[in-house]
Chains A and B, each alone.
Chain A
Amino acid sequence: MTQEFFLEVQNLKKYFVAGNPSLFSRVVKHVHAVDDVSLELERGEVIALVGESGCGKSTLALTLMGLEKSTDGKIIFEGIDITHADDKAQKLLRQRIQMVFQDPYESLNPTQTIEEIVGEPLVVHKIGVTADERRARVVQALEDAGLKPADIYMRRYPHELSGGQRQRVVIAGALVLEPHLLLADEPVSMLDVSIRAEILNLLADLRISRQISIIFITHDLGTVGYFADRVAVMYLGRIVEIGKMRDVLENPQHPYTRALLSVIPVPNPRLRRERVILQGETPNPIDLPRGCRFHPRCPIATEECQLTDPPYIEISPKHQAACLKTQKVS
């Protein structure tokens, strides 16, 4: 029995050509930004995509949006293969899939008013015949994003708003098209802690009130525990562990997941614990390590890890990890 998913990503690859190939060498090197990623998402589900910068999570998002062309693999959205959608189909898709960007200071045009920014998608997609109709939708989106009453914000410019308010404007701009899927790329990492919680709560509420599926991209496992149903941990272009939030938090199998969990700051000095601090940084994705791509930084790597690229091992239903040391739960 094949179940139809809301979004299905099959063996997606996105390689970039690294630099200009030199005059004398024929070898073209590639950056393996996304390297064989498969993922399913149900309607209304929230999945967190976690990894350090350079792990390919943002590229994955841009590829799903159609802003980058995939090198290989398939993306099936609401039953339709959108991998090679043409411009017209892409434009329609944008109404269904929207994105919230990381930096609320950079992602708003300083010369536009809030009303223009939030209403822009309606103009682009020629939705709403009259200005009043459009205005009503803008007001609705702003209020849904927590900017109430919307009137006092409509004629303002981004520089008159605080970081948290700006991020709400970005979210309103994504909501105004009533998308089915929202890609949130580090939506809170530039914000202060006290504002962060509000934006996270807002996203959690939207998911319930509007039945939106969310792919939440972050480097900080700590912020996603609250509302993601599932977590996918990415390392060097590949998902190394995926599973239900609870399963992954309580029984992390991949050493990388464990390390990420251990460095989440705990706001209590009495709970100081042993942290696994990985040395070095993510290696460059041009020359991938042989075998398991994590082995050069892995605290428990053995010789075998240098030779074998680990397959996914199922730990419990829906919980998989790509590590040879994975222990199955019987």
Chain B
Amino acid sequence: MEAKIVEPKAPTTSSLFLDFWKTFSSNRVAVVGLVMLIVIILVAIFAEQLARYDITTSADITSKDIYQPPSEEHWFGTDDAGKDVYSNFVFGARVSLTVGFFAAFISIFVGGLMGIVAGFYGGRVENFLMRLTDIMLVIPDLPLLIVIVAMTRPSLMNIIFVIGLLGWTTTSRIVRSQTLAVKSRKFVLRARAIGAGNMHIIRHHILPLVLPLLVVNAILVISLAILNESTLAFLGLSDPTRLSWGQMLNFAFGRGAMSAGAWWALVVPGLGIVWVVLALTLLGHGLEQVLNPRLEFHHLMPGRPVVQREAGNVHSFAEEIHPVLLEVQDLSIHYVTEDQPPARAVENVSFTLHEGELLGLVGESGCGKTTLMLGLLRLLPAAGQIVGGQVDFMGKDITAMSEQELLDVRWNGISIIFQGAMNALNPVRTVGDQIKEAIVKHVALLPGDKVDERVVELLDLVGIAADHKDHYPHQYSGGMRQRAMIAMALACNPQVVIADEPTTALDVMIQAQILELLDELRKKLGLSIIFVTHDLGVVAEMCDSVLVMYGGVMAEYSDVDTIYNSAQHPYTQELLKAFPDLSKPEKRLASIPGYPPRLDNLPTGCRFAPRCPRAIERCHTEVPDLHILDKNHVASCHLVEA
């Protein structure tokens, strides 16, 4: 039974390569580049078969044949020696590509090695290697290239080596910084802890993560090498026995192609160079997107509210003294992607928030709680769509608002304290400055000194001394940063503050401080707070009501006392049991076997059924309704019916 639960759904066939190919092939730019490259490589390989004339002999050539325009016999015309340009082009591809690939190989090898060694060992080794790189970078490449090639015999071998040995600098810098980043990651420490030596760590941990970057870089280095070769050849510095595109250009240019009007002798090799460089650039650009998917997505595109469904089972905690501020009814949010079924991240969630109320929103990671909160303000990522329900904030439906109206609600009406305060603050601006920005953006026409006053007032409110205003986030401790985030959220006197896991990464003592602060602010300013957390224990001491979410749906929603003392949904009950209770430490901790469902692959019946200790057959086939147990107690479970 347990094995069945734990067993992940997807078969084990997926491999990194297949994944890679799937993403790669969907990137049109990269595919075009790859095809272009393959074509020219095939041309170079099958030069003998493709060429229509033997370019090594001058037999059968008469003076009539010089600079003949393109014709049946000579597709691309003839050159200054009366030879077929097309055949020259085909053989030239071979030389140009050979030089490009081998020189790039040398550059990548040298640069990669130096970068990894410098980054990994650090200290003096790094200093020496990086200063060497800097010096090489400062010397202008081309003149040096010309001088060296001119001094040595310009054979193909020499040219490859010279270009290769001058082209490694950028690679070494990029690889070094990537190595530094990888080196500081925890799995390298773990490898050390198991007793692995340096060689092992470099081979198994550093190299695989540096490699993608190296590949992208290699492609750019190849095109650079081909360009360098062409330049050298154009200047007459090349192996006279091996015809390359650059050399074709050189001959044509130096032997009167321009004055003879023989454009084909110049254009054809030129196009060859452009073709290869373009192919490599496209491929490199595409690969970069594939290997670094973060470049692809854009955040915070406005979500599109879609058709409304008629309001379902509305419920509200009647007879409340405080007026209702926010009322969410049957809100559903899906993540829609092109070729996959939609991920039903939030379905039919309803709750009510009164003035001054503190609502705890509890659920495991991936249960849709953050999506729900972003949905309230329509700050969902592009794929996220509100597909049903409504969000009434002070009588107006947020899902139907225009962008302009939304701007007015965001921050002025409802603000968010984000999770992970370090990432949410801009590291290069002072904290005071960032709070100021939040004020100025939303409260127009406030004179400058009033704004400063307000910043100090806000900082004071969250317990930060005024002189910390001009400090940068890194000078703040974790707890202070979280306080600064709270100050920012309060900047425009919102009625509702959403606190998204504000204490999760903090120590227990700091966590207690932040909780105390939020509770204090609520009383002082009459705020309503939605406190999002995965930890039931955290909210017990200050919440008025609790909404427990599981797998995108409401499991149970009630006032705090009912949730903690007479919970009806098995999930709530199990969560409470999983909580360590120090008064009975001998008891074994209860745990919930299995893992939360994936939102794109939900069970057919109740979403909790596969993990539920009390599940009956019906639970696996039929989705439970939301049952109203009491005037302020809702649970979605078949068992409460009886």
With both beta carbons as reference points, the residue of chain A lying nearest to B511 in the complex is identified as: A263
Which residues of the other chain, A, contact B589 by a CB distance below 8 angstroms?
Answer: 197, 200-201, 226
Complex: chain A residue closest to B582, CB-CB: A225
For residue A311, CB closer than 8 A to chain B, the reply is no
Find out whether the CB atom of B12 lies under 8 angstroms from the CB atom of A152. Answer: yes
Measured CB to CB, the closest approach of chain B to A109, in angstroms, equals 4
B508 at the interface (CB under 8 A from A): yes
In this assembly, does B189 line the interface, its C-beta being within 8 Å of a C-beta of chain A?
yes
* Interface presence of B593 (CB below 8 A): yes
Please give, as numbers and ranges, the residues of chain A lying within 8 Å of B595 by CB-CB distance: 162, 164-165, 195
> B559-595 toward A: CB 8 Å interface, digit per residue (1/0)?
0110011000000001110111110010111111101
Q: Please choose the segment from A3-11, A24-32, A118-126, A319-327 that sits at the chain B interface, where 4 or more of its residues have CB less than 8 A away.
A: A118-126
Known: A67-B193, A194-B364, A200-B580. 16 other contacts (CB 8 A): A107-B186, A111-B209, A125-B195, A160-B14, A162-B595, A162-B596, A193-B364, A201-B591, A204-B588, A220-B508, A222-B582, A226-B580, A226-B587, A261-B582, A266-B537, A277-B512
B578 close to A99 (CB less than 8 A): no
Residue A275, interface by CB 8 Å: yes
Closest B-chain residue to A272, C-beta based? B541
Contact, CB under 8 Å: B516 / A277: yes
Contact A120 B3 (CB under 8 A): no
Does A265 sit within 8 A of B, measured CB to CB? yes
Task: Say yes or no: A107-B574 contact (C-beta < 8 A), given A194-B364, A269-B560.
Answer: no
B580–A101 contact, CB under 8 A? no
Instruction: Count chain B residues whose beta carbon lies closer than 8 angstroms to a beta carbon of A.
Output: 70
Q: Mark A130-168, 1 if CB is under 8 A from B, else 0.
A: 000000000000000001110010011100111111000
B534, A152: Cβ atoms closer than 8 Å: no
Which of A103, A149, A198 has the largest number of chain B CB atoms within 10 A?
A: A198
Determine whether B49 belongs to the interface, using a CB cutoff of 8 Å to chain A. Answer: no
A200 to B578, CA, bound (A): 11
Q: A152-B7, A269-B560 are in contact. Are A120 and B507 (CB under 8 A)?
A: no
A 63-103 binary contact with B (CB < 8 Å = 1; else 0): 00101000000000000000000000011011100110111
Task: For the complex formed, measure the closest distance between the CB of B104 and the CB atoms of chain A, giving whole angstroms.
Answer: 24
Q: Which of A53, A152, A198 contacts B507 (CB 8 A)?
A: A53
Report whether B579 and A267 are in contact in the complex, using a CB–CB cutoff of 8 Å: yes
A108 at the interface (CB under 8 A from B): yes
Complex CA gap A121/B192 in Å reads 10
Q: Contacts of B428 on A, CB cut-off 8 Å?
A: none
Q: Does any Cβ of A come within 8 Å of B536's Cβ? A: yes
* Interface flag for B642 (CB, 8 Å): no
Q: How far is the CB of A38 from chain B (nearest CB, A)?
A: 24
State the CA gap A219–B194 with chains docked (Å). Answer: 25
Docked pose: A90 CA to B193 CA in angstroms: 10
Residues of A close to B582: CB separation below 8 A:
221-222, 225, 249, 261, 264
Complex-state Cα separation, A149 to B588, whole angstroms: 24
Q: Are B561 and A90 in contact (CB under 8 A)?
A: no
Does A263 contact B193, Cβ atoms closer than 8 Å? no
A98 to B477, CA, bound (A): 31
Measured CB to CB, the nearest residue on chain A to B576 is A267
B239 interface residue per 8 A CB criterion: no
- With most chain B CB atoms within 10 A of its CB, the pick from A93, A98, A108, A124 is A124
Q: Tell me the minimal C-beta distance from A151 to chain B in angstroms.
A: 8
Please measure, in the bound complex, the distance between the C-alpha atom of A164 and the C-alpha atom of B2, giving whole angstroms: 15
Question: Closest Cβ of chain A: how far from B137's Cβ, in Å?
Answer: 27
Chosen A-B contacts, 10 in total, with CB atoms closer than 8 Å, are A52-B510, A101-B186, A125-B195, A193-B535, A195-B364, A196-B578, A197-B591, A200-B589, A225-B581, A269-B564
Bound complex: CA A116 to CA B3 (Å): 23
User: Quick check: B591 and A194 within 8 Å, CB to CB?
Assistant: yes
Query: Is B185 positioned at the interface, with any CB of A under 8 Å from its CB?
Result: yes
Query: In the complex, which of the residues B195, B511, B535, B596 contacts A94, with contact meaning CB atoms closer than 8 Å?
Result: B195
Q: Which residues in window 491-516 of B have CB below 8 A to A? A: 507-513, 516
Known: A111-B16, A148-B3. A106 touches B185 (CB 8 A): yes
- Taken together as a complex, chains A and B put the C-alpha atoms of A152 and B8 apart, in Å, by 8
User: Which residue of A120, A174, A222, A225 contacts B204 across the interface (Cβ within 8 Å)?
Assistant: A120
State whether A65 touches B193 (Cβ < 8 A). yes
Q: Which residues of the partner chain A approach B509 to less than 8 Å between Cβ atoms?
A: 52, 259-260, 263, 277-278, 281
Contact call A177/B578, Cβ cutoff below 8 A: no
Choose from A120, A162, A197, A267 the contact partner of B537 (Cβ within 8 Å): A267
- A95, B195: Cα distance in complex, Å: 8
Q: Which of A67, A98, A111, A270 contacts B561 (CB 8 A)?
A: A270
Q: How many A-B residue pairs have CB under 8 A?
A: 201
Which 6 interchain pairs have the tightest Cβ spacing?
A: A94-B195, A265-B537, A197-B591, A106-B186, A111-B208, A263-B512
CB distance from B507 to the nearest CB of A (A): 4
Binding site for B on A (CB under 8 A): 52-53, 65, 67, 90-91, 93-95, 98-99, 101-103, 106-112, 116, 120-121, 123-125, 147-149, 152, 155-157, 160-165, 170, 173-174, 177, 192-198, 200-201, 204, 219-223, 225-226, 245-246, 249, 259-261, 263-270, 272, 275, 277-279, 281
On chain A, the residues within 8 Å of B578 by CB distance are 193-194, 196-197
Contact of B132 with A by CB under 8 A? no
Within 8 A of A (CB), among B221-237: none
Give chain B residues whose Cβ lies under 8 Å from the Cβ of A222: 508, 537, 580, 582
Q: CB-CB < 8 A to B534: which residues of A?
A: 192-193
A197 to B513, CA, bound (A): 25
A contact residues around B565 at 8 Å (CB): 268, 270
- Interface pair B593/A124, CB less than 8 Å apart: no
CB-based nearest B residue for A273? B541
Bound state CA distance, A194 and B208, in angstroms? 34
- Identify the closest chain A residue to B538 (Cβ): A265
Contact B6 A148 (CB under 8 A): yes
Q: Look across to chain A and name the residue whose beta carbon is closest to the beta carbon of B209.
A: A111
Which of A101, A148, A270 touches B189 (beta carbons < 8 Å)?
A101
Q: What are the residues of chain B within 8 A of A111 when measuring CB–CB?
A: 16, 208-209
The CA of A111 and the CA of B579, in the complex, are separated in Å by 35
How far is the CB of A298 from the nearest CB of chain B, in Å? 13
B451: shortest Cβ distance to chain A, in Å?
29
With both beta carbons as reference points, the residue of chain B lying nearest to A124 in the complex is identified as B196
Interfacial chain B residues near A269, Cβ < 8 Å: 540-541, 543, 560-561, 564
Contacts of A107 in B (CB 8 A): 186-187, 189-190
A27 and B350 alpha carbons, distance in the complex (Å) = 63
Given the complex, which residues of A lie within 8 Å of B587, measured CB to CB?
A: 226
Residue B285 lies at the interface, judged by CB distance under 8 Å to chain A: no
A223 and B580 within 8 A (CB): yes
Chain A min CB distance to B439 (Å): 27
Question: Which residue from B16, B185, B580 sits with its C-beta under 8 Å from A157?
Answer: B16
Does B200 count as interface, using CB distance less than 8 angstroms? yes
Complex: how many Å from CA A164 to CA B578?
15
List the A side residues contacting B479 at CB < 8 Å: 281
Whether A120 lies near B191 (C-beta < 8 A) is yes
Residues of chain B within 8 A (CB-CB) of A116 are 204
* A residues less than 8 Å from B295 (CB atoms): none
Contacts of A221 in B (CB 8 A): 508, 582
**Bound CA span A102–B512, Å:** 22
- In the complex, the answer to whether B186 meets A163 with C-beta atoms within 8 Å is no
Instruction: Give A102's nearest chain B residue, CB to CB.
Output: B186
Q: Contact: A194 with B507, CB < 8 Å? A: no
Closest chain B CB from A180 CB (angstroms): 15
Residue among A112, A125, A197, A267 with max Cβ neighbours from chain B (10 Å): A267
Indicate if B10 sits at the interface (CB-CB under 8 A).
yes
Output the least CB separation between A178 and chain B (Å). 13
A265 to B506, CA, bound (A): 14
In the complex, the answer to whether A155 meets B12 with C-beta atoms within 8 Å is yes
Does B315 make an interface contact (CB < 8 A)?
A: no
Contact A124 B540 (CB under 8 A): no
Give the complex CA separation of A196 and B365 in angstroms.
13
Residues of A within 8 A of B560 (CB): 269
Give Cα A121 to B6, complex, Å: 26
Whether a CB of chain A sits under 8 angstroms from the CB of B522 is no
Q: Is B468 an interface residue (CB 8 A)?
A: no
